[in-house]
Amino acid sequence: MTERVYIRPIALAESPQSEGGAVVRLGGGLVWASRFALIRRNQGRIVSRRQCGVADMAEAIAALPDALAAEAQAQWRDLARSHPPIACGARMLRLDQPLVMGILNVTPDSFSDGGKFLDKPDAALEHAHAMLEAGAAIIDVGGESTRPGAAAVWEGDEARRVVPVIENLARAGAAISIDSRRASVIGAALSAGAHIVNDVSAMRHDPRTAALVAESGAPVVLMHAPGDASDLHADGNYRDVVLDVFDALRERRDAALAAGIARDRILIDPGIGFGKTLAENLALINALPMLHGLGQPILFGASRKRMIGALAGEAPAHQRMPGSLAVALRAADSGAQVLRVHDVAETVQALHIWRGLRDAAVTDFSQMGD
């Protein structure tokens, strides 16, 4: 591996005025960063780490070798990139504050809702409509469990699980994503009315997916999972989980661009729980603001995942809502644009409070810097 450079926000500001305007607005959201680490690593090892404010970043970047300076400059610009709304049929999803994506798993074996909606179309639709009423901006429909050790599903069966649900939701005018890593299922879902492709293999599992997505013009979520994309939970074997996931997502973003997918149709996701230990998940969540440096909206999903049980007395999946809210708020604080959750009503209410606090901070001029 050659030498690489990274810019990691290390201090978030209460508001722009609390720092006298010396802040970067992350990803066009309601979150600002005031201090940054400029990190260099060579052959996987961190070789230097310099802390900068907004005022001294230009000089720090100029002092880098040319090849690194260009990359650092791109990240510096991309940290502040704001993102246009995502069109989902007649709906426009604005990305300037966190949106909630409600999870609908039509599977026998997903870890928290497996079996509840398989072969029960009425129950699945009732749940989806309840999530929409509770404020979900998107419904993420999946027909394959991605839990460790889940039984493989034939793609014909996977399509049969999701298509009728998607058709119904599309008729109701909902914004829909298809959670699949198989091109045939994605194609069937898009024809049935899905708008967004959510691929947990970041388009590595099925070589046909990238062309299909490019051709359709649909936005795509590229989620990080280590390994060769057949085993999503393969050991990550990271040198530095934060920088390795950043590199992997950058590589997938560039592959998507090379396949002809428009820049404003690509979302990225660190893949919490996929081939990562508790410590690695926590490190990634703490470093989430750094992913804005890739210049794409961030989707974040930790809802009811194992890491919450691990930190909360081994609470079973159905008792992990409070922990899920805590981590969703942390993602909102990091400027994540889409939160993928099971507990929609609770998350939406938590985000209303979050939004109120953010608005109060940006209009509090007693925080003026000098």
Q: Which residues bind ligand PMM (CB under 6 A)?
A: 103, 105, 110-112, 142, 146, 179, 198, 200, 221, 223, 269, 271-272, 299, 301, 340
Query: Closer to ligand PMM at the Cβ: 52 or 307?
Result: 307
Q: What are the CA-CA distances from residue 212 to residues 208, 218, 224 (Å)? A: 6, 9, 20
CA dist 214 and 196 (Å) reads 12
Separation between Cα atoms, residue 32 and residue 324, nearest integer Å? 24
Q: What does the DSSP 8-state code read for residue 175?
A: -
Q: How far is the CB of 141 from ligand PMM (least distance, A)?
A: 10
* 318-331 per-residue burial string, b: 16 or more CB within 10 A, e: under 16: eebbebbbebbbeb
**Whole-number minimum distance, CB 310 to ligand PMM, in Å?**
15
Cβ-proximal residue to ligand PMM, closest one: 301
Given the complex with ligand PMM, which of 33 and 202 has the nearer CB atom?
Answer: 202
By beta-carbon proximity to ligand PMM, the closer residue of 75 and 110 is 110
Which residues, other chains included, contact 271 with Cβ-Cβ below 8 Å and sequence gap of 6+?
A: 200, 223, 224, 225, 245
Does residue 88 contact residue 34 with C-beta atoms inside 8 Å?
no
CA distance 27 to 267: 12
- Residues identified as active-site: 305, 340
Nearest distance, CB of residue 216 and ligand PMM, angstroms: 18
Closest CA to 11 of 28, 34, 31: 34
CB of 36 to ligand PMM, least distance (A): 26
In the complex, minimum distance from the CB of residue 12 to ligand PMM, in angstroms, rounded to a whole number = 23
Residue 354 is given by DSSP the state H
What region, left, alpha or beta, does residue 103 occupy, with left being phi > 0 and alpha being psi -120 to 50 degrees? beta
Nearer to ligand PMM, 16 or 270 (CB): 270
Closer Cβ to ligand PMM, 72 or 176, answer by number: 176
Residue 152 is classified by DSSP as P
Q: Could you tell me which residues are beta bridge partners of residue 240?
A: none
